[in-house]
Amino acid sequence: MKKKLLLLLALLGLTASYFAAVHLSGGAFPAPAFLKLGGDKEKLRSISMKFMEDIEFKDYQNAASYHHPELQSTVDIPFLIHRLFKVKPEAMDIMEYEPVFAKLDSSKLRGRVKMRVKVKLLAQENIITRELMLFYSRDTPTSPWYMILEDSLRNPESDKMKKS
């Protein structure tokens, strides 16, 4: 009886330790979705994975839906993909993608997720790996996260009023 109790306590302790690791890592380890472990970092990882799935299946309209509603109609996802991979989106096959890390700033209103993307370039028969940083922001800690992909992949324009 005593051995069974010790075994049960050890099992419960290991389970609790694992769930604590899932939560503290921001959802980096797999866990049942209904537990909602990982907090905001897990939400950003999840949004990033859904975004990459939309890109993989060339659903650019849905991929733009992760941006602020006022900006969704102006986001040009195919242009941004072409800029990142130096090839038109229809000439590439996204093979794998995974979040490397998710980070939040001290205000918990800005976040970023680094994604590793493995792509096969169909014309050259090359397989390349690129790292992509996805930036997010929100207005308050309870408001939804919105992607800021458009700004991060466009060519920066210098301010004419400032010296370079």
Hey, is 65 helix, strand or coil? coil
Degrees to nearest 5, angle at CA 39 with 152 and 26? 70
pTM: 0.74
Q: What digits encode the pLDDT tens for the residues 85-143?
A: 888 888 999 999 999 999 999 999 999 999 999 999 988 889 999 898 999 999 999 99
Residue 24: pLDDT above 90?
no
Alpha-carbon distance of 100 to 7, in angstroms, equals: 35
* DSSP assignment string, 77-113: HHHHHHHHHSS-GGGEEEEEEEEEEEEE-TTSSEEEE
Rg of the chain (C-alpha set): 20
- Whether the Cβ atoms of residue 46 and residue 26 lie closer than 8 Å to each other: no
